[in-house]
Amino acid sequence: MSRQPSRTGGRPKGGPKGGPKGGGRGRTQRAQPSETLEVLVEGLGAQADGLAAWTGQTLYIPAALPGERVRVKTGPKRNDGLGCTLLEVLQPASQRIQPICEYYAQCGGCALQHVDETFYAQWKRARVTEVLAKRGFADVPVLDPVLIQPGTRRRVTYTVQRRGKRLDLGFNARASHDIVTIESCPLLVPSLNAVIEPLGELMRQVLEDGERARVALTACDNGVDMVIEADKHPGLAAREAIAAFAGRGYAARVSWKEPDFPAEPVAQVQMPKVDLSGVSLELPMGAFLQASVEGERAILAQILLGVGKAARIADLYCGVGSFTLALARQAIVRAVDSLEPQVRALERAAGRTNLGGRVLAEVRDLDRQPLDPAELNKFDAVVFDPPRAGAAAQAQQIAQSDVPKVVAVSCNPATFARDARILVNGGYRLIDVLPVDQFIFSAHVELVARFERETL
């Protein structure tokens, strides 16, 4: 460590400035919750927290940057140390900038609004390179990240709670269940910001005192699709309020989701639709979409580069077909996913266009029943885009196949690296990895990776 942190208020009693000791017996004095300390930030952790050392403990400091000297208040135990609250930046880093959001200091939705673009891009890239190196891919080219701009996010989930006459609607505070109430979010597309105020008025009518809910919104081409997740069944008054909300044009569809039950539509003015590579798709309730259109296009461009001129492609974990429909313009595509509503929506969308005969949609749980080598060998390329848990079972089967080209999309570098190691051990070469900043200002990063089978 380059410098030893010191407590606010001068030299710790019982030891020299460079090495605090407690009780006069030479024992290390460990930080406790609710202490105020001055420390030097020496790194940035995986969750974008500043990291500082204090007598063998790691201090995790949100919104702090390497090289900064800061004053912090220690909090609860976290991993090998303590979480902290940043009280003051005493010596700011040159990369520090003014956040674009007025709620940034409290809101837990973003972690990296306080850094300049150069530092930000380097850190996002490093998130990928460090994880790959742990799996033996230190020499694999990791390309410069594709940075997505604010005002583009088309999906958001709010936490809402009614407390008497007060309604809190927004995002959880950092490391807390408290809600930071917002009036707008600079990350969101305009249509999602426009609905915040009327949504608050609706939830005042829907929730009783003390009740809490989550509201997921997706900006579609013809309106907002909304799913309310709550622990109760909606009564008549709630249903009437929701119908009026949709009728005033604030949502194309509003659905209700109770624990252990599928979502059910409560009000629908029109079927929510999204454009996927020039094809209009009717969006199933709660269906997954890429966070931004811009990010989706960047991922798709790299996928098309990876599959080359393949005429037969397997699109695994296809969802509603974010990439399937574009691939089908050049190839016959077998699109597979475990979620039937999404697969059927893709099938119908392809059928309403001239792509109907080029998309072979199938409902199948690829974690329990992955495509085997005999099935895979029918394809010139395989694309897979699994959930955060990755695709270990399917990767094992691909590794035993003869498919010439493979493209992997992932929102979790750690599970991707595990799956990539399976493919490379099976004879594939990892060509390159492209980070895509789909989750802007967060610690998360999406990536696209190209593989080719090694030839003797």
Backbone angles phi and psi of 125, in degrees to 5 = -65, -40
Q: Where in the chain is the domain with CATH 2.40.50.1070?
A: 155-275
Q: What is the mean pLDDT of residues 409-435?
A: 98
Q: Are 113 and 441 in contact (CB under 8 A)?
A: yes
173: exposed, middle or buried (Cβ count in 10 Å: 0-12, 13-18, 19+):
middle
The two tokens of residue 243 are: 């119908």
How much of the chain, in percent, has pLDDT values that exceed 70? Answer: 93
The predicted structure's pLDDT at residue 133: 97
Who has greater pLDDT, 303 or 78? Answer: 303
User: Which residues have a Cβ under 8 Å from the Cβ of 194 and sit 6 or more positions away?
Assistant: none
d(CA 95, CA 111): 15
Q: Are 430 and 420 in contact (CB under 8 A)?
A: yes
Backbone angles phi and psi of 202, in degrees to 5 = -65, -45
CATH of 155-275, one of 2.40.50.1070, 2.40.50.180, 2.40.30.200, 1.10.3720.10: 2.40.50.1070
- 6-91: CATH topology: OB fold (Dihydrolipoamide Acetyltransferase, E2P) (2.40.50)
Q: What share of the chain is helix, strand, coil (3-state, %, to 5)?
A: 25, 35, 45
Q: Where in the chain is the domain with CATH 2.40.50.140?
A: 6-91
pLDDT tops 50 at residue 268? yes
The predicted structure's pLDDT at residue 121: 97
CATH superfamily, domain 119-149+289-453, is Vaccinia Virus protein VP39 (3.40.50.150)
How much of the chain, in percent, has pLDDT values that exceed 90? Answer: 86
Of the candidate ranges 157-161, 213-217, 260-264, the one whose mean pLDDT is the lowest: 260-264
pLDDT band at 27 (very low <50, low <70, confident <90, very high): very low
The two tokens of residue 378 are: 């029918």
**pLDDT 10s digits, 320-355:** 999 999 999 999 999 999 999 999 999 999 999 989
Known catalytic residues are 411
Of the candidate ranges 3-12, 112-121, 390-399, 425-434, the one whose mean pLDDT is the lowest: 3-12
**pLDDT 10s digits, 37-87:** 999 999 999 999 999 999 889 999 999 999 999 999 999 998 889 999 999
